[in-house]
Amino acid sequence: MLPIDAAAHSSRWRRRHPVDKAVLGLGLTVLAISLPPWPGAALVLLTALVVLLGPAGVPGRRLWRAYRVPLGFCVTGALTLLVQVGGPGGFVSFAADGPVRAGELLLRTSAASLGVLLFAFTTPLSDLLPRLVRAGIPAPVVDVALVTYRMSFLLLDSLRRIREAQAARLGHTSRAAEWRSLAGLGATAFVRAFDRAGRLQAGLAGRGYDGTLRVLVPEARVSVRFTAASCALLATLAALTFVLERPLT
Amino acid sequence: MHIAEGFLPPAHAVAWGVASAPFVVHGVRSLTREVREHPESTLLLGASGAFTFVLSALKLPSVTGSCSHPTGTGLGAILFRPPIMAVLGTITLLFQALLLAHGGLTTLGANVFSMAIAGPWAGYAVYALLRRSNAPLMVAVFSGAFVADLSTYCVTSVQLALAFPDPGSGFLGALGKFGSIFAVTQIPLAVSEGLLTVLVMRLLVQSSKGELTRLGVLLAKKQPRTETEAVTR
């Protein structure tokens, strides 16, 4: 299991309905990209961090491990805004408003990422996917996504074992050997995926498979109090941004 | 290659979502039809989605000594066709956003357009064109994977340049800026992905002829003509 999903399964908010967490987490993300970066995104970032480490109970180290990935992309992307092409300063020169634009972008992306991480760290995909049918996603697509989700972990585990076996057989000692091993890994993943699908099909056919995958979904109700509190928090953040925007800028 | 969460302004994020929607809806219709006609396809398509997801977990040795990972869009398009790939790619990108924090939900439309639509369609077009002109399978596979990878990055450069035009030279300057940054790293990576795809396909031709024939990558062997057919002709 991947670290974020493993954390979601043992989350304090695991039993909450995904809609509750989507309103809060994805609401924060929407606010982060639509409010002015300063002070809007900064407020969203702070709030998301407090909620993640406080009420949601996500361990700080786990959060950092997941957060540093998008943060790295954000920093790399923001660096390109520091330079400009053409103009009086030469072919490539320092952009006058580059640091401000880069800072704003960094604030916006890091706040938006935390909003999605709040949702991801508290909602296992196995709770979310079966409920997507009610949101209007066609059942065959949800079934394919469910099989993809469950089979991904098995394949990732297989890949890890094959990679270890290849390393034990000196499969990574030279560049040529590394390419050979890599190709073997890709091809084996394909063969194993189709082999598993075939065996799963045979097993399900024996149990009267009619084309729909029925899975038990843990029962949960949308909490009106939680959703209302989330909406109030989001509204407060938006209002606070517009109040503070002028004096802080 | 993935545009990070919150990187695009809201108007751009919505516009790319709208641009991707018809392709994804077309893919969903194809997939739904396939599953209704052949219920067992759910499992095969799920396996294909899982294969696409784990492809992005393969570490590709790069010329700079660092590692990157293949997009898998070329191989996916050749094996499963672009309409199905639009759906599988969308599912994979959603999983990557929620399970690995790669990409994002607000940038899902833009990432789907570059990685699940533009890349697979461009790669598949080159592959199909070369196969029709009787080019060897491996040449077509290499070209398809190379073009799919490179076109994914070209579209990503356009998306970023539209969102962040250069203060001095506007859209074109920004396109040159993002394009040149990608070109340094991505042209060697596109060659690497093309070579890897050829190696994978060679192994698949040896070990999984049945599956490749079922997917239409290899032609089914013609049945020998029966005696009566031979006489009537």
Question: A82-106 pLDDT, tens per residue?
Answer: 888 776 767 777 877 888 989 999 9
Q: How sure is the predictor about B66, in pLDDT bands with cuts at 50, 70 and 90?
A: very low
Instruction: Please state the ipTM of this predicted complex.
Output: 0.89
- Write out chain A residues lying below 8 Å of B28, CB-based: 138, 141
SS3 A45: helix
What's the pLDDT score for residue B64?
41
Question: What are B13's two structure tokens?
Answer: 């994020």
Q: How sure is the predictor about A63, in pLDDT bands with cuts at 50, 70 and 90?
A: very high
Is residue A211 in a domain?
Answer: no
Question: Is pLDDT above 80 for B86?
Answer: yes
Which residue range is the domain that position A155 belongs to?
130-205
Does B10-217 carry CATH code 3.20.20.140?
A: no
What's the pLDDT score for residue A56?
93
Question: Is pLDDT above 60 for B67?
Answer: no
Name residues whose C-beta falls within 8 Å of residue B223's C-beta, 6 or more positions apart in sequence.
none
- Asked if the bond preceding A39 is cis, omega within 30° of 0, the reply is yes
Is residue A214 in a domain?
Answer: no
> Cα–Cα distance between B31 and B91 in angstroms, integer?
13
Task: Verify whether the Cβ–Cβ distance B35 to A140 is below 8 Å.
Answer: yes
- Write out chain A residues lying below 8 Å of B87, CB-based: 141, 144
Residue A84 Ramachandran class (φ > 0 left, ψ -120 to 50 alpha, else beta): beta
Q: How sure is the predictor about B62, in pLDDT bands with cuts at 50, 70 and 90?
A: very low
A63 and A109 share one domain: yes
What's the pLDDT score for residue B10?
92
pLDDT tens digits for A9-32? 999 999 899 999 999 999 999 999
Question: What are B126's two structure tokens?
Answer: 């080159």
Query: Any idea what DSSP says for residue B118?
Result: I
What distance in Å separates residue B161's CA from the closest CA in chain A?
Answer: 11
> What count of Cα atoms within 13 Å lies in the side-chain half-sphere of residue A38?
11
Query: Any idea what DSSP says for residue B166?
Result: B
Window from A171-185, B130-144, B182-196 with minimum mean pLDDT: B182-196
Is residue A212 in a domain?
Answer: no
A135 and A167 share one domain: yes
- Write out chain B residues lying below 8 Å of A29, CB-based: 5-6, 105-106
Higher confidence at residue B62 or residue A231? A231
A31 and A134 share one domain: no
A98 and A134 share one domain: no
What distance in Å separates residue A55's CA from the closest CA in chain B?
Answer: 20
Query: Any idea what DSSP says for residue B3?
Result: P
Rounded percentage of chain B residues whose pLDDT exceeds 70: 87
- In the chain, the amino acid numbered B41 is S
Q: How sure is the predictor about A171, in pLDDT bands with cuts at 50, 70 and 90?
A: confident
A167 and A47 share one domain: no
pTM for this model (two decimals): 0.88
Is residue A109 in a domain?
Answer: yes
Q: From the CA atom positions of chain B, what is the Rg in Å?
A: 20
Contact A128, A152 (CB under 8 A): no
A243 and A192 share one domain: no
A22 and A103 share one domain: yes
For chain A, the average pLDDT equals 88
> What count of Cα atoms within 13 Å lies in the side-chain half-sphere of residue B233?
6
Highest mean predicted confidence (pLDDT) among A49-58, B26-35, B152-161:
A49-58
B215, with CB counted inside 10 A (0-12, 13-18, 19+), is middle
Window from A138-147, B39-48, B156-165 with minimum mean pLDDT: B39-48
Is residue A216 in a domain?
Answer: no
> What count of Cα atoms within 13 Å lies in the side-chain half-sphere of residue B21?
7
Task: Verify whether the Cβ–Cβ distance A149 to B164 is below 8 Å.
Answer: no
Contact B169, A84 (CB under 8 A): yes
Question: What are B92's two structure tokens?
Answer: 């994979």
Q: How sure is the predictor about A197, in pLDDT bands with cuts at 50, 70 and 90?
A: confident
Compare CB distances from B5 to A95, A113, A189 and report the shortest one's residue.
A113
Three-point CA angle B70, B29, B157, nearest 5°:
35
A84 and A197 share one domain: no
Q: How sure is the predictor about B233, in pLDDT bands with cuts at 50, 70 and 90?
A: very low
What's the pLDDT score for residue B59?
62
Contact A150, A192 (CB under 8 A): no
Task: Name the nearest CA neighbour of B90 among A83, A12, A176, A132.
Answer: A132
Is residue A165 in a domain?
Answer: yes
User: Hey, which bits of chain A come out as E strands?
Assistant: 83-85, 92-94
Question: Is pLDDT above 90 for A232?
Answer: yes
Q: How sure is the predictor about B61, in pLDDT bands with cuts at 50, 70 and 90?
A: low
A15 and A106 share one domain: yes
A86 and A167 share one domain: no
> Cα–Cα distance between B160 and B163 in angstroms, integer?
5
Task: Name the nearest CA neighbour of B123 among B85, B84, B77, B188.
Answer: B77
> Cα–Cα distance between A201 and A195 in angstroms, integer?
10
Is residue A51 in a domain?
Answer: yes
For chain B, the average pLDDT equals 83
Counted domains in chain A: 2
- Write out chain B residues lying below 8 Å of A211, CB-based: 35-36, 39, 42
A221, with CB counted inside 10 A (0-12, 13-18, 19+), is exposed
Task: Name the nearest CA neighbour of B200 among B47, B46, B90, B70.
Answer: B70
Rounded to a whole number of angstroms, the distance between the first and last alpha carbons of chain A is 45
A114 and A163 share one domain: no
The backbone torsions φ and ψ at residue A67, rounded to the nearest 5 degrees and listed phi first, read: -75, -30
> Cα–Cα distance between B67 and A142 in angstroms, integer?
33
Q: How sure is the predictor about B58, in pLDDT bands with cuts at 50, 70 and 90?
A: low
Is residue A213 in a domain?
Answer: no
What's the pLDDT score for residue B68?
60
Window from A53-67, A131-145, A225-239, B185-199 with minimum mean pLDDT: B185-199
